[in-house]
Structure 1
Amino acid sequence: MTDLDPAIAARLKRTAEGLVPAVVQQHDTGEVLMLGWMDDEALARTLETGRATYWSRSRQEYWVKGETSGHVQDVHEIRLDCDGDTLLVKVDQTGVACHTGDRTCFDADLVLGDG
Protein backbone atom coordinates (compact mmCIF):
# COMPACT_ATOMS: atom_id res chain seq x y z
CA MET A 1 0.00 0.00 0.00
CA THR A 2 1.24 3.46 -0.94
CA ASP A 3 0.70 6.36 1.45
CA LEU A 4 -0.67 9.66 0.24
CA ASP A 5 1.14 12.77 1.43
CA PRO A 6 -0.73 13.92 4.58
CA ALA A 7 -0.87 17.52 3.33
CA ILE A 8 -2.65 16.41 0.16
CA ALA A 9 -4.91 13.99 2.03
CA ALA A 10 -6.00 16.76 4.39
CA ARG A 11 -7.25 18.89 1.47
CA LEU A 12 -9.38 16.16 -0.14
CA LYS A 13 -13.13 16.05 0.42
CA ARG A 14 -14.26 12.51 -0.29
CA THR A 15 -17.62 10.86 -0.85
CA ALA A 16 -19.00 8.58 1.87
CA GLU A 17 -17.18 5.75 0.04
CA GLY A 18 -13.85 7.61 0.34
CA LEU A 19 -13.72 8.57 -3.34
CA VAL A 20 -12.97 11.75 -5.26
CA PRO A 21 -14.10 12.21 -8.90
CA ALA A 22 -11.23 12.67 -11.33
CA VAL A 23 -11.95 14.53 -14.57
CA VAL A 24 -9.38 13.39 -17.12
CA GLN A 25 -8.22 15.79 -19.81
CA GLN A 26 -5.71 15.55 -22.67
CA HIS A 27 -2.90 17.79 -21.45
CA ASP A 28 -2.09 19.57 -24.73
CA THR A 29 -5.52 20.00 -26.33
CA GLY A 30 -7.83 20.31 -23.33
CA GLU A 31 -10.07 17.54 -24.69
CA VAL A 32 -12.09 15.97 -21.86
CA LEU A 33 -11.54 12.22 -22.06
CA MET A 34 -13.30 10.53 -19.16
CA LEU A 35 -14.33 10.60 -15.53
CA GLY A 36 -12.73 8.19 -13.10
CA TRP A 37 -12.76 7.76 -9.34
CA MET A 38 -9.77 7.85 -7.02
CA ASP A 39 -9.34 7.14 -3.35
CA ASP A 40 -6.18 8.01 -1.42
CA GLU A 41 -4.44 4.82 -2.57
CA ALA A 42 -5.26 5.34 -6.27
CA LEU A 43 -4.09 8.95 -6.10
CA ALA A 44 -0.87 7.97 -4.30
CA ARG A 45 -0.17 5.25 -6.88
CA THR A 46 -0.80 7.71 -9.70
CA LEU A 47 1.56 10.28 -8.18
CA GLU A 48 4.21 7.62 -7.58
CA THR A 49 4.12 5.91 -10.98
CA GLY A 50 2.97 8.66 -13.35
CA ARG A 51 0.33 6.27 -14.72
CA ALA A 52 -3.34 6.97 -14.06
CA THR A 53 -4.73 4.56 -11.48
CA TYR A 54 -8.41 4.51 -10.54
CA TRP A 55 -10.81 2.72 -8.22
CA SER A 56 -13.41 0.68 -10.07
CA ARG A 57 -16.73 1.06 -8.29
CA SER A 58 -18.25 -1.85 -10.22
CA ARG A 59 -15.36 -4.30 -9.76
CA GLN A 60 -14.28 -2.98 -6.34
CA GLU A 61 -10.61 -3.00 -7.33
CA TYR A 62 -7.82 -0.72 -8.53
CA TRP A 63 -7.07 -0.50 -12.22
CA VAL A 64 -4.27 1.18 -14.10
CA LYS A 65 -5.65 2.74 -17.27
CA GLY A 66 -4.33 0.77 -20.24
CA GLU A 67 -2.82 -2.07 -18.23
CA THR A 68 -4.62 -4.64 -20.37
CA SER A 69 -5.64 -2.59 -23.43
CA GLY A 70 -2.43 -0.64 -24.01
CA HIS A 71 -4.45 2.61 -24.02
CA VAL A 72 -2.41 4.17 -21.23
CA GLN A 73 -2.62 7.56 -19.61
CA ASP A 74 0.73 9.13 -18.78
CA VAL A 75 0.01 11.79 -16.18
CA HIS A 76 1.46 15.27 -16.74
CA GLU A 77 -0.30 17.15 -13.97
CA ILE A 78 -2.96 16.76 -11.28
CA ARG A 79 -4.88 19.70 -9.87
CA LEU A 80 -7.31 19.84 -6.98
CA ASP A 81 -10.28 22.19 -7.35
CA CYS A 82 -10.93 25.05 -4.95
CA ASP A 83 -13.40 23.02 -2.87
CA GLY A 84 -11.10 20.00 -2.63
CA ASP A 85 -13.76 17.65 -3.97
CA THR A 86 -12.68 17.10 -7.59
CA LEU A 87 -9.39 16.27 -9.25
CA LEU A 88 -8.34 17.37 -12.73
CA VAL A 89 -5.92 14.83 -14.18
CA LYS A 90 -4.05 16.06 -17.26
CA VAL A 91 -2.69 13.15 -19.27
CA ASP A 92 -1.14 12.12 -22.53
CA GLN A 93 -3.64 9.53 -23.75
CA THR A 94 -2.29 6.70 -25.88
CA GLY A 95 -5.10 5.26 -28.00
CA VAL A 96 -8.69 5.60 -26.89
CA ALA A 97 -9.91 6.60 -23.45
CA CYS A 98 -13.37 5.02 -23.51
CA HIS A 99 -14.13 1.33 -23.02
CA THR A 100 -16.47 1.58 -26.04
CA GLY A 101 -13.52 2.22 -28.33
CA ASP A 102 -14.15 5.96 -28.71
CA ARG A 103 -11.42 8.53 -28.15
CA THR A 104 -13.48 10.15 -25.36
CA CYS A 105 -16.32 9.00 -23.14
CA PHE A 106 -18.05 12.30 -23.90
CA ASP A 107 -19.12 11.74 -27.49
CA ALA A 108 -22.88 11.93 -27.04
CA ASP A 109 -24.33 15.41 -27.57
CA LEU A 110 -26.99 16.29 -25.01
CA VAL A 111 -26.78 20.06 -25.28
CA LEU A 112 -29.32 22.35 -26.88
CA GLY A 113 -28.37 24.67 -29.67
CA ASP A 114 -25.26 24.64 -31.82
CA GLY A 115 -23.11 23.25 -28.97
Structure 2
Amino acid sequence: MITCVVEYVIDPAKIEAFEEFGRRWMDLVDRHGGTHHGYFLPAEGASDKAFALFSFPSLAAYEEYRALFGREPEFIDADRIRDESGCVLRYERTFMRPLLPGSS
Protein backbone atom coordinates (compact mmCIF):
# COMPACT_ATOMS: atom_id res chain seq x y z
CA MET A 1 0.00 0.00 0.00
CA ILE A 2 1.14 3.54 -0.77
CA THR A 3 -0.33 6.63 0.89
CA CYS A 4 -0.09 10.05 -0.65
CA VAL A 5 0.07 12.92 1.83
CA VAL A 6 -0.64 16.28 0.23
CA GLU A 7 0.23 19.42 2.16
CA TYR A 8 -1.58 22.49 0.88
CA VAL A 9 -1.06 26.18 1.45
CA ILE A 10 -4.51 27.61 0.93
CA ASP A 11 -6.14 31.02 0.81
CA PRO A 12 -8.17 31.12 4.06
CA ALA A 13 -10.64 33.53 2.47
CA LYS A 14 -11.49 30.81 -0.08
CA ILE A 15 -12.04 27.89 2.28
CA GLU A 16 -15.49 27.11 0.85
CA ALA A 17 -14.00 26.63 -2.64
CA PHE A 18 -11.27 24.44 -1.14
CA GLU A 19 -13.91 22.30 0.59
CA GLU A 20 -15.76 21.83 -2.71
CA PHE A 21 -12.45 20.95 -4.40
CA GLY A 22 -11.81 18.39 -1.64
CA ARG A 23 -15.26 16.82 -1.89
CA ARG A 24 -14.79 16.26 -5.61
CA TRP A 25 -11.36 14.65 -5.18
CA MET A 26 -12.50 12.39 -2.34
CA ASP A 27 -15.17 10.98 -4.64
CA LEU A 28 -12.79 10.63 -7.61
CA VAL A 29 -10.11 8.81 -5.60
CA ASP A 30 -12.66 6.40 -4.14
CA ARG A 31 -14.24 5.68 -7.53
CA HIS A 32 -10.88 5.09 -9.25
CA GLY A 33 -9.26 2.46 -7.06
CA GLY A 34 -8.07 4.39 -4.02
CA THR A 35 -9.22 5.02 -0.48
CA HIS A 36 -9.46 8.66 0.56
CA HIS A 37 -8.82 9.27 4.26
CA GLY A 38 -10.12 12.84 4.13
CA TYR A 39 -9.01 16.43 4.07
CA PHE A 40 -7.79 18.04 7.25
CA LEU A 41 -8.59 21.74 7.39
CA PRO A 42 -7.36 24.53 9.65
CA ALA A 43 -9.01 24.69 13.07
CA GLU A 44 -6.46 26.39 15.32
CA GLY A 45 -2.98 27.68 14.65
CA ALA A 46 -1.95 28.36 11.07
CA SER A 47 -5.03 29.16 9.02
CA ASP A 48 -3.45 28.53 5.63
CA LYS A 49 -2.41 24.86 5.95
CA ALA A 50 -4.50 21.86 4.96
CA PHE A 51 -3.72 18.20 4.34
CA ALA A 52 -5.19 15.33 2.36
CA LEU A 53 -4.35 11.65 2.74
CA PHE A 54 -5.33 8.89 0.35
CA SER A 55 -4.05 5.40 -0.35
CA PHE A 56 -3.78 3.06 -3.31
CA PRO A 57 -2.92 -0.64 -3.18
CA SER A 58 0.35 0.02 -5.03
CA LEU A 59 2.31 2.73 -6.82
CA ALA A 60 1.22 1.13 -10.11
CA ALA A 61 -2.45 1.56 -9.12
CA TYR A 62 -1.76 5.19 -8.24
CA GLU A 63 -0.12 5.72 -11.64
CA GLU A 64 -3.23 4.32 -13.38
CA TYR A 65 -5.30 6.89 -11.49
CA ARG A 66 -2.85 9.69 -12.33
CA ALA A 67 -3.09 8.82 -16.02
CA LEU A 68 -6.66 10.17 -15.94
CA PHE A 69 -5.52 13.71 -15.05
CA GLY A 70 -6.10 16.19 -17.83
CA ARG A 71 -8.07 13.60 -19.84
CA GLU A 72 -11.21 12.69 -17.93
CA PRO A 73 -13.84 15.45 -17.77
CA GLU A 74 -14.56 14.93 -14.05
CA PHE A 75 -10.87 15.31 -13.21
CA ILE A 76 -10.65 18.46 -15.33
CA ASP A 77 -13.75 19.89 -13.63
CA ALA A 78 -12.35 19.18 -10.16
CA ASP A 79 -9.10 20.95 -10.98
CA ARG A 80 -11.05 23.85 -12.48
CA ILE A 81 -12.44 24.60 -8.98
CA ARG A 82 -8.89 25.02 -7.70
CA ASP A 83 -7.67 26.97 -10.71
CA GLU A 84 -10.59 29.38 -11.05
CA SER A 85 -11.04 30.08 -7.34
CA GLY A 86 -7.36 30.39 -6.44
CA CYS A 87 -8.07 28.50 -3.21
CA VAL A 88 -4.76 26.57 -3.42
CA LEU A 89 -1.62 28.68 -3.39
CA ARG A 90 0.74 25.71 -3.57
CA TYR A 91 0.95 22.06 -2.61
CA GLU A 92 3.48 19.30 -2.10
CA ARG A 93 2.95 15.54 -2.42
CA THR A 94 4.81 12.98 -0.35
CA PHE A 95 4.40 9.22 -0.67
CA MET A 96 4.47 7.24 2.54
CA ARG A 97 4.24 3.58 3.51
CA PRO A 98 1.76 3.24 6.37
CA LEU A 99 2.41 1.22 9.49
CA LEU A 100 -1.06 0.36 10.73
CA PRO A 101 -2.28 -1.22 13.97
CA GLY A 102 -2.04 -4.98 13.78
CA SER A 103 0.52 -5.04 10.99
CA SER A 104 3.65 -7.08 11.45
- TM-score, normalised on structure 1? 0.27
The structure whose residues are more often helix, as a share, is 2
- TM-score, normalised on structure 2? 0.28
Greater RCO (Cα-Cα under 8 Å, separation 6 or more): 2
